[in-house]
Amino acid sequence: MEGLQLLLSGFAAALSLQNLLFAFAGCILGTLIGVLPGLGPAAGTAILIPLTFHLDATGAIIMLAAIYYGAMYGGTITSVLINVPGEAASVVTCLDGYQMAQQGRAGTALGIAAIGSFVGGVFAAVALAIVALPLARFALAFGPPEFFSLMFVGLCLVTGLAGQSLIAALLMTILGLLLSLVGIDPVRGAPRFTFGVPELYDGLGFVPVVMGLFGVAEILLIIETPFRRMGDTKIKGLWPSREEWKRSSGAIGRGTLIGFLLGLIPGVGAVIPTFMAYIVEKRLSKHPEMFGKGAIEGVASPETANNAYANGAMVPLLVLGVPSSPTIAILMGAFIINGLTPGPFLFKDRPDLVWTVIASFFTGNVILLILNLPFVGLWAKLLKMPYQYLCAGTLLFCIVGAYSLKGTVFDVGVMLVFGVIGYFLRKLGMPLAPAVLALILGPFMEKSLRTSLEMSAGDFSIFLTRPISATLMACAVLVIAVAAFQVAALKSIRTAETK
Amino acid sequence: MKRGWQVALVALVATFAFFAFESFQLSLRDALGPGPGFFPFWLGMLGVVLAAILLTQLHLDRVDLGTEALVFDRAGVRNAVLVLVGLIVATALLDVVGFRLSVLLLIPYLLVILGVRNWVAIGICAVAGSFGVFHVFFDLLKVPLSAGIFGF
């Protein structure tokens, strides 16, 4: 009941003209990022952080969250129309969405994707509102050992699910953690790895590093291999037929559940829920042979899961302070820039902000539905924009964003250095997600670890003698063991195939 | 691809070893418990060990890190390098000549490198990207951007 009251007060604030405008602007910018191929939600959110500098914390978070789920919506349009996913989570939508477009059903594919995304987003927001308060209250009992173990599990999940080499993912995690430790030691106040450079006393800025790794690196890759431009695909008949509704409704329901539940697990990322939703739908279908040939369920289910995931992933961030993906880590960075630390204490200290942001997920999803159904043709026209202008504009935004953080050229330099590093890492296929999550969680992890060890006079068993911490540590070990087993199994399958 | 990974892993070993060495100079423990060097030292050591393991596995062909060759398109890479050079120069000029002038030069440079030859469009983009963006961010959004020594 208390949760409902808080949510209603959140709605009162979220429905104010100012916050509606922030959500609206965020949805438009997010959809734009999603529509433009190559520029994913992580890069887009990082690049657009400076736009929120002059806003109050609530407005800034509302706008950035709207950019995030707007980008998840927008990615569908390119998947359906030109078979190029606007962001990674829309990859699976290409399979049937593009086939539908080839059959002259692009409008229906985009329509069901928008409706499914709306249903998934709203359901996930309702579920978030229901589970947030009890979970936050439970997490209030956490001390430093529990928080360390929780962040450790989060990093293990991200690492375990990151790619085909567990060691490579671990290396990226360690690199992210080490980079996060540059600057003044949070416990003793001693400078570390600063080499007398005053700009490094505050540490490497999270935003310039992420802008470099995702924004600049992405643009360098696009410049090397420009993407295709859209042909003249006609978009008509957005509303699905009765038969298509019948086939899609179950898919939307299942996609919602899969997306939301997987959003609760840190490290899963947006791609796995969409593929899982697609596979489940194919298994349950009476006509699995139609999948890949324009089955509407093949669009409805992953697109729903995609958006349910986007909203579900806010649960670990808001309630536990653990981001699930690079984009959510960037959102966490935005909280920190605004002087806020996501986690259970945020529900205690700033309930007004938390519930307004949660309520804004509802208004944002309504705005996105309006933007995506009647105006889908306008978004599609953006695909005709030459990539050269997109690249120049994005790089300009990166410079503005990095410079305006502290008003120094140093951060622009950091961004460019990490742009080059990101370019090579992506060329090699090194997983970036663990590095980004480690970069944001590093200082919190170190502080929790050292405070825990001070509590126990240096005895590491403190992490195993407290029940919650011990359970979380057991989960972490399990996650790494399962990931190692999967890598080994994959390797033996490949060896057998080669033979 | 294998050579690329080897170079990257050697660079990582060096980076982690550097962090471990630097952390060792800081105190690992003090009267209150773990010191400032404790966490980075052990992370650096773990990183060196893991990177060395992966390097060895790679050398012995015991690990598959992707079968595709590391492809660099020559013309594309040349453009990417030229864009990067432009960005570095513009960054160096940012505090000297200010945001507007440095971006006024950067945008046409980027667009020409990327193959745009429509000079009207280039001109419009340059003015919008420099004076327009400055106005929006500096005057409307109150975001600090460099005015440079000329003050505009």
Rounded Cα–Cα distance for residues A148 and A150 (Å): 5
Q: Do B54 and A416 touch (CB under 8 A)?
A: no
Q: Does residue B68 belong to any structural domain of this protein?
A: no
Which residue from A175, A409, A428 is facing B94, i.e. has the nearest CB?
Answer: A409
Do residues B53 and B80 share a domain? no
User: What is the rounded (10 degree) CA torsion for B95, B97, B103, B107?
Assistant: -130
Which residue from A165, A178, A427 is facing B19, i.e. has the nearest CB?
Answer: A178
- Beta-bridge mates of residue A326: none
CA A244 to chain B, closest CA, distance in angstroms equals 40
CA B135 to chain A, closest CA, distance in angstroms equals 12
CA dist list (Å): A220 to A387, A396, A418, B114: 12, 13, 12, 11
pLDDT in tens, chain A (499 residues): 677 888 899 999 999 999 999 999 999 999 888 887 667 788 788 888 878 877 889 999 999 999 988 888 887 887 888 777 767 777 788 889 888 888 888 888 989 999 999 999 999 999 998 998 888 888 888 899 999 998 998 888 878 776 667 888 899 999 999 999 999 887 778 889 998 888 899 889 888 898 899 889 988 988 887 655 555 566 677 788 888 888 889 999 999 999 999 888 876 777 788 888 998 898 888 888 888 888 999 999 999 998 899 889 999 999 988 888 888 888 998 898 888 889 889 988 899 999 999 999 999 999 998 888 888 778 777 777 788 888 898 899 889 888 888 888 999 999 999 999 999 998 888 888 889 889 988 988 998 999 999 888 888 899 999 999 999 999 989 988 888 887 777 777 767 766 6
Q: Do B110 and A225 touch (CB under 8 A)?
A: no
For chain B, what is the domain count? 2
Is A392 an interface residue toward B (CB < 8 Å)?
A: yes
Give residues 65 to 84 of B whose Cβ lies within 8 Å of A. Answer: 65-66, 70, 72-73, 76-77, 79-80, 83-84
**Mutation for A interface: B91, B133, B139, most A CBs within 10 A:** B91
Q: Does residue B36 belong to any structural domain of this protein?
A: yes
Q: Does residue B22 belong to any structural domain of this protein?
A: yes
What residues have CB less than 8 Å from A110, skipping those under 6 apart? A76, A77, A80, A235, A238, A372, A376
3-state secondary structure of B34: strand
Average pLDDT, chain A: 86
ipTM value: 0.93
Domain ranges of chain A: 2-143+230-432
Largest distance between two CA atoms of chain B: 68
* CA A479 from centre of chain: 21
CB contacts of A182 in chain B (<8 Å) are none
CA angle at A263 for the pair A168 and A433, rounded to the nearest 5°: 25
CA A6 to chain B, closest CA, distance in angstroms equals 31
User: pLDDT tens-digit profile of A79-126?
Assistant: 888 777 767 777 788 889 888 888 888 888 989 999 999 999 999 999
Is A458 an interface residue toward B (CB < 8 Å)?
A: yes
Ordered DSSP codes for B91-150? HHHHHHHHHHHHHHHHHHHHHHHTT---HHHHHHHHHIIIIIHHIIIIIIS------TTT
Give residues 402 to 441 of A whose Cβ lies within 8 Å of B. Answer: 403-404, 407, 409, 412-413, 416, 419-420, 423-425, 427-430
Which residue from B8, B36, B133 is facing A396, i.e. has the nearest CB?
Answer: B133
User: pLDDT tens-digit profile of A265-307?
Assistant: 876 777 788 888 998 898 888 888 888 888 999 999 999 998 8
- Beta-bridge mates of residue B30: B33
Do residues B78 and B135 share a domain? yes
Do residues B51 and B79 share a domain? no
A44 C-beta neighbours (distance < 10 Å), count: 30
Domain residues for the domain of B39 are 2-59
Q: Does residue B65 belong to any structural domain of this protein?
A: no
Do residues B48 and B99 share a domain? no
Do residues B53 and B79 share a domain? no
Is A391 an interface residue toward B (CB < 8 Å)?
A: yes
Q: Are A281 and A251 in contact (CB under 8 A)?
A: yes
Do residues B54 and B93 share a domain? no
Q: Do B143 and A165 touch (CB under 8 A)?
A: no
**Mutation for A interface: B19, B29, B85, most A CBs within 10 A:** B19
What is the pTM for the complete model shown? 0.84
**Mutation for A interface: B12, B87, B135, most A CBs within 10 A:** B87
CA dist list (Å): A344 to A143, A356, B92: 11, 16, 43
Q: Are A151 and A444 in contact (CB under 8 A)?
A: yes
Is A20 an interface residue toward B (CB < 8 Å)?
A: no
Q: Do B70 and A409 touch (CB under 8 A)?
A: no
Do residues B50 and B91 share a domain? no
Q: Does residue B128 belong to any structural domain of this protein?
A: yes
